[in-house]
Amino acid sequence: MERTAVSTSSTESPQVALGLVVGAHGLRGQLRVLHFGDGPDELLRHERLVLGESEGDPEAAEFEVVRAVPGRRGEVRIGLVGVTNRDAAEQLRGRLVMTGAEALEPLSPGEYYGYQLLGCRVEGDDGREIGVVRGIWPTGETDLLVIESEGGTEHLIPAVRDLLREVDIEGRRIVVEVIPGLLEPA
Instruction: Give DSSP secondary structure letters for 99-138.
Output: EEGGGSPPPPTT---HHHHTT-EEEETTS-EEEEEEEEE-
127 and 63 within one domain: no
Maximum alpha-carbon separation in the chain: 58
Residue 74 lies in a domain: yes
pTM of the model: 0.68
* Structural domain boundaries enclosing 137: 119-176
89 and 153 within one domain: no
Residue 111 lies in a domain: no
* Predicted local distance difference test score (pLDDT) of residue 185: 63
81 and 136 within one domain: no
134 and 92 within one domain: no
pLDDT tens by residue, 16-29? 888 899 999 999 99
Residue 9 lies in a domain: no
125 and 53 within one domain: no
Q: The domain that contains 133 carries what CATH number?
A: 2.30.30.240
Percentage of the chain surpassing pLDDT 70?
90
Percentage of the chain surpassing pLDDT 90?
53
- Among 79, 103, 127, where does a domain finish? 103
3-state DSSP call for residue 41? helix
> Per 3-state DSSP, what percentage of the chain is helix, strand, and coil (rounded to 5)?
10, 40, 50
Residue 109, pLDDT > 90, answer no
> What is the average per-residue pLDDT within 2-26?
67
Burial 20-47 (b: 16+ CB within 10 A, else e): bbbbbbeeebbbbbbbbbeebebbbebe
> What is the average per-residue pLDDT within 79-98?
96
Q: In angstroms, rounded to a whole number, what is the distance separating the alpha carbons of residues 184 and 12?
A: 34
130 and 99 within one domain: no
Q: In angstroms, rounded to a whole number, what is the distance separating the alpha carbons of residues 16 and 88?
A: 23
